[in-house]
Amino acid sequence: MSRDVILVHGLWVPAMVMTPLAARLQAAGYRCHLFSYPGRERPLQAHAERLARTARDVGPAHFVGHSLGGLVVLEALLRHPETLAVRAVLLGTPARGNFAGRRLAQHGWGRWFLGASEPLWREGRAAHWTRAEPLGVVAGTVAIGLGRLFGALPGPNDGVVRVEETEVEGMRERIVLPVGHSAMLLSARVAAQVLGFVRDARFSHPA
């Protein structure tokens, strides 16, 4: 089985934010590739095309996407079924749209802030997984994040994305952890779950 993992960051941040998670995966024997894209400046399809090309160069690989990066992963793998994927994990990804993003987009400066990604936060993308490879989803419940800029978010959430917004029809499994949106990338607990899914196609649910 492939030991390559392609990691895709979220909006407003560089690829290096995935380094702590990559380091933990590398310690377990995986080869990590950080995929970078300008989230505000181009539409999702452009990022997905580049990711598919990168994946062809890497060969069979696992995919891990955080937040908007998870939408890039979904779009690339669903639009390009020829892409050789082994397993995929989404971390705090707004697959079904995003309450906080819609609220932010009500303001002109908010739409500017979201840039070309604004429709994705409003509507979501590819909330139906049709590939045979296992898809795992991690959602958080510590409500610390920019999504609370204009007030609390309804229901369990990670401060940016609500748990219910992370659901992808056809996913193999979802696990909900006490972690915030950005803190997912630093969390040893999240890294252990990602590693478990990449290795075994299942999460090791806490008791």
Is 145 contained in some domain? no
Q: Is the pLDDT of residue 167 over 60?
A: yes
Is 40 contained in some domain? yes
The whole model's pTM is what?
A: 0.90
Which CATH number belongs to the domain containing residue 192 in this structure?
A: 3.40.50.1820
Burial zone of 102 (CB within 10 Å; 0-12 exposed, 13-18 middle, 19+ buried): middle
The count of structural domains within the chain is 1
Is 152 contained in some domain? no
Q: What is the average pLDDT value for the chain, to the nearest integer? A: 86
| DSSP bridge pairs for 62 | 5
Report the alpha-carbon distance of residue 18 to residue 10 in Å, rounded. 9
Residue with tokens 């590693």: 195
CB 71 within 8 A of CB 65: yes
pLDDT at 204: 84
Full residue range of the structural domain in which residue 29 is found: 4-95+129-137+172-200
CB 25 within 8 A of CB 87: no
- Residue-wise pLDDT tens digits, 36-76: 987 555 677 888 899 999 999 999 999 999 998 999 999 89
Report the alpha-carbon distance of residue 26 to residue 32 in Å, rounded. 7
Is 70 contained in some domain? yes
Is 167 contained in some domain? no
Question: 3-class SS at 196?
Answer: helix
Is 154 contained in some domain? no
Is 62 contained in some domain? yes
Q: How confident is the model at residue 207 (pLDDT cuts 50, 70, 90)?
A: very low
Is 206 contained in some domain? no
